[in-house]
Amino acid sequence: MWFRLDLRLKDNPALTAACDRGDVIPVYIYDTFNGGKHDPGSATRWWLHQSLLSLNEQLDSSLIIMSGDPKILLAELVANSGADKITWNRNYEPWQIARDKRIIKELKGPNLDICTYNGSLLWEPWDILNKSGQPYKVFTPFYRRGCLEGPEPRKPIPVPNEKRFFYLNEMDKGIDSLKLIPKFRWHEKFSKTWEPGENKANIKLKSFLKAPVNDYRINRNVPGSEGTSKLSPHLHFGEISPNQIWYTSLNKVKKNQSNKDMDCFLSEIGWREFSYYLLYHFPDLPHKNFNSKFDNYPWLNDGPPLEAWKKGMTGVPIVDAGMRELWQTGYMHNRVRMIVGSYLVKNLNIDWREGEAWFWDCLLDADLASNSASWQWVAGSGADAAPFFRIFNPVLQGEKFDENGNYVIKYCPELDKLPKKYIHKPWDAPDDVLRGAGIVLGKNYPYPIVDLRKSRSEALEKYSLVKVS
């Protein structure tokens, strides 16, 4: 059984199929050969290390850890063990699909069966097409008509009753051999906020469904509240399946919890499905504008503004708070992701791919499908994207969704004595108010690096040239 992004025992179709066959050799292979620029980022490597420790404990320390080219290593495992079958759950990133096809073509034969399963999506991307037999490009018809009106998702399956694991000590290199923990120890704060592993994922789902989901439609937009499930890193690594989330949530609806709030939550699972759907049907999504008109947009690619954005030193409090949350916790609230993304692309005029790359390295839930689709959405270049002229005003967004400034103050504590009236626009505060709050703009908190109104106008002017091209 080849574990990949399915680091769990429950609702694991490939594991169940392997256990039904007999003795199972559980293996995790860190692919250093095929991923290229899509190798895991620094934050996800930390999570992977912790998750593998948890999985190995669940497997009674029988998990074999290897690194290199999976095609070669799987062949070695078969040769040394006499295994007659390999199982795995499918991945959907383009490079993974190409790799898996090569492995099946070269290893499968009369003496070796290879069986693959769906363990990470509710609906297979190739099963959901519009009436013309073409992929959907807009979320609502994809989800409401293509998915919800189609066959129900597979129901979760229990942990196999019979589990006999066969451990090949001589082939196990150990989790530490992968060297997943970054040398720069910026990640050490993660353990104060996150607990990777299947058990923790299930506890988090149950906790979310007890109460927070009932106010999900409103609180999911409030970055200072605990209004979201924060399941995304667990879901990315397959510590919990979307099927488990789907059916556990639906069971709560039957117990008279809010249908509208639950529907909103499940639609976010639908957005994840849509992102994978787009990546499968349009494999250039991570690096190519979905809307080719944006190939002519004059984005920038580097310079001091990009570095200020990464460090949370733009002078716009809600943007800086979001970028500092990302650095400190490996996570960023979804509403704030939209705000900082819009600011980078439309106020700083920087290519969305620069933002995607930074998120890829810093997010614990960095997911090629969701990261690419979301950045293209906020840039206006993607499928079902927000129109480019929808430029978030970060001041108004902060005042609306962080009314009392709690979120900003948590990550920008230098602003904690500033009156609420100015917390999202300290540059408007009179000099005596700034002095009273101990703030010297340009010294202990930066001046805004761009004028919001002017940069908005410039972005719209550039877009007008793209629009007629």
CA 283, CA 279: separation in Å to the nearest integer? 5
DSSP, collapsed to helix, strand or coil, labels residue 85 as strand
Q: What is the predicted pLDDT for the residue at 255?
A: 57
Q: Are 318 and 424 in contact (CB under 8 A)?
A: yes
Note whether residue 82 is domain-resident: yes
Do residues 152 and 57 both lie within one domain?
no
The predicted pLDDT at position 257 comes to 52
Does residue 167 sit within a domain? no
Q: DSSP characters for 148-187?
A: TTSPPPPPP-PPPS---B---GGG---GGGG--S-SSGGG
104 & 138 share domain: no
pLDDT the model gives residue 151:
93
pLDDT at site 177: 98
CATH number, domain with residue 310: 1.10.579.10
219 and 87 belong to one structural domain: no
194-204 pLDDT per residue, tens: 999 999 999 99
Q: Output the pLDDT for position 252.
A: 82
* High-pLDDT (> 70) share of the chain, %: 98
For residue 254, pLDDT beyond 70: no
Residue 180 has a pLDDT of 97
DSSP class of residue 147?
I
| More confidently predicted of 375 and 257 | 375
d(C-alpha 139, C-alpha 232), whole Å: 19
Average pLDDT of the chain is 95
| Residue-wise pLDDT tens digits, 13-60 | 999 999 999 999 999 999 999 999 999 999 999 999 999 999 999 999
**pLDDT at position 184:** 82
CATH at residue 206: 1.25.40.80
Q: Please check whether residues 84 and 136 belong to one and the same domain.
A: no
234 with 204: CB under 8 angstroms? yes
The number of distinct structural domains making up the chain is 3
Token pair recorded at residue 160: 């196999």
Pair of tokens at residue 376: 């293209």
Based on the domain organization, do 106 and 208 belong to the same domain? no
**Residue 389: predicted pLDDT:** 86
CATH number of the domain encompassing residue 19: 3.40.50.620
Is residue 468 scored above 70 in pLDDT? Answer: no
Is the same domain home to 81 and 39?
yes
pLDDT at 454 exceeding the cut of 80: yes
Do 298 and 359 have their domain in common? yes
Question: What does the CA dihedral 36, 38, 40, 43 come to, rounded to 10 degrees?
Answer: 130
Residue 85 lies in a domain: yes
Residue 456 shares a structural domain with residue 345: yes
- 13 and 132 co-located in one domain: no
Please tell me the predicted confidence (pLDDT) of residue 90. 98
Strands 2-3 vs 27-31: parallel, antiparallel or unpaired: parallel
Helix (H, G, I), strand (E, B) or coil at 117: strand
Q: Which pair of tokens denotes residue 421?
A: 């009236």
Burial 219-247 (b: 16+ CB within 10 A, else e): bbbbbbbebbbbbbbbbbbbbbbbbbbbb
3-state helix, strand, coil in the chain (%, to 5): 55, 5, 40
pLDDT of amino acid 259: 84
Taking 80 as the threshold, does the pLDDT of residue 175 lie above it?
yes
- Please give the average per-residue pLDDT across 60-68, as a whole number: 97
CA angle, 357 as apex, 91 and 50 as ends, to 5°? Answer: 55
Last residue of a domain, one of 247, 281, 315: 281
Model confidence pLDDT, tens digit, residues 341-366: 999 999 999 999 999 999 999 999 99
Q: At 253, is the pLDDT very low, low, confident or very high (cuts 50, 70, 90)? A: confident
Q: Tell me, yes or no, whether 234 and 363 share the same domain.
A: no
Q: Are residues 340 and 392 in the same domain?
A: yes
State which residues form the domain around 148: 121-156+199-281
Q: Do both 274 and 315 map to the same domain?
A: no
The structure tokens 């106010």 sit at: 215
pLDDT at 224: 84
Question: Per the structure block, which two tokens stand in for 74?
Answer: 């799987």
Q: What is the pLDDT of residue 328?
A: 95
Scanning the structure block, which residue is given the tokens 């609702």? Answer: 11
C-alpha separations of 250 from 11, 61, 203, 408 in Å: 17, 35, 17, 35
pLDDT score, position 289: 96
